[in-house]
Amino acid sequence: MMVEELRVFVNERAVRVARGATVQDAVAALDGDLAALLASDAAYVTDGVGRPVDAGGPVGEGGGIFRVVVTARRGPPRLSKEALRRWPKAELHVHLDGCLRPETMLELARAQGVRLPADTPEGLTQALSVKGSRSLEEYLSKYEITLSVMQTAEALERIAYEFVRDVAAEHVRYVEVRYSPALHRPALTLTEAIEAPLAGIKRAEAETGTKVGLIICGIRTLPPAVSLELAQAAADYRSAGVVAFDLAGAERGHPAAEHRAAFAHAARHGLACTCHAGEGDGPDSIHEALHACGARRIGHGTRLGEDPALLTYVVEHRIPLEMCLSSNVHTRTVAALADHPFKRYLDQGVVVTLNTDGRLMDGISLTDEYYLAHAVLGLSRQDLARVVLASCESAFLPEYEKVALISRVQSELEAL
Ligand SMILES: [Zn+2]
């Protein structure tokens, strides 16, 4: 008779896996958090005598002895992912068109007659995964797929609503979500493309108690006149939930300064400005975002450390960086998670915040990013609490609302 289960030892503990299971499956059977580290290249597997083993390969017929070695970790992680899920959190950098529920995408596609690259939630998640991207440009191409089902007001309302429900479920108390209404034309007017997600946001805010700000993005590769038009539309909705203007899209070869009129318009009308910079290009791009465009925060800013004088400036002026760990690995902005400068910047006094960029595309939650910062980059409990509070302090909120957010989150952190 065939044996249906194989007995495997992972880190000296016995686990049973089904025939045909991979080494990764065996690790997951022992410890989901350890498997997550393995999946994000923060750990590797060896056999019983220390030879590296491919985690994607099958467990042999005779079972096996495996050891998971976690790299770049200072001391064992003391916080589990489940504990961090319960932490109150805030997020400042996430793209609405990168956060759809796969099931919703399939439903919308069926209703709208849109063809998607897969017809199951798993297949779609796989097709949209940006894990194997070679550059920021390739990463961005995945957004065309999600945008294909986001061309009606009903779809935008629903996607925004579900997004807020999803982040609220992992205890995110405040979130700023961004997208570009220009990418919903010609199906929708700019007005329709702004009012639809605002309606979804309001509905979810009322149900969850999570507060939401909407950020309108100009796109670097579109004409500056479009950015100006977007900044004007954003300013019109300033008292209706739009909190800021941003510039996104392929960074290298598309200078932010070309869009300075849009930033100036937003600032003149009381909107805050942020700008993607130092992700697909170097520190000069950050310099331009700050000094030519008046950005008050920087989206990513990963390559800031290449210019020590600019880093000092960013520290002295307390300019927050909206950092995204997994996304930077996926776009090849950093070679590996362990090389990410997040902890170094934190230690150097930069105001750093943790964000997902795109939950669906990057295959992560905000909790995952806090866990990676803890388990791979070595942030302590105190460091993580500092990051949560820095995220609240960097929110584009009126001062009195910011104070209320900080005191809510602070007392929730103390009660943990
Ligand atoms: Zn982004």
Cα–Cα distance list, 336 to 87, 123, 241, 391 (Å)? 26, 26, 37, 24
Cα–Cα distance list, 158 to 19, 107, 202, 204 (Å)? 41, 11, 11, 10
CA distance 356 to 348: 22
Average pLDDT over every residue of 314-342: 95
The predicted-structure confidence for 159-182, as pLDDT tens digits, reads as follows: 999 999 999 999 999 999 999 999
**Which one is catalytic: 91, 176, 251, 279?**
279
* Ligand 1 center–CA 408 separation, angstroms: 27
Average pLDDT over every residue of 210-237: 98
* Ligand 1 center–CA 402 separation, angstroms: 23
CA distance 229 to 191: 11
* Ligand 1 center–CA 95 separation, angstroms: 6
* Ligand 1 center–CA 94 separation, angstroms: 6
CA distance 352 to 298: 10
Stretch (H or E) spanning 37: helix 32-39
Fold of 81-414: TIM Barrel (3.20.20)
- Give the neighbor-by-neighbor strand order of the sheet with 242-248: 89-95, 172-179, 211-219, 242-248, 272-277, 297-300, 321-323, 352-354
The answer to whether residue 279 is catalytic is yes
The predicted-structure confidence for 121-136, as pLDDT tens digits, reads as follows: 999 999 998 887 778 7
The pLDDT score that the predictor gives to residue 1 is 46
The pLDDT score that the predictor gives to residue 75 is 56
Domain ranges of the chain: 5-70, 81-414
Percent above pLDDT 90 for the chain: 79
Judge: domain 5-70, CATH 3.10.20.30: yes
The pLDDT score that the predictor gives to residue 36 is 85
The predicted-structure confidence for 271-295, as pLDDT tens digits, reads as follows: 999 999 999 999 999 999 999 999 9
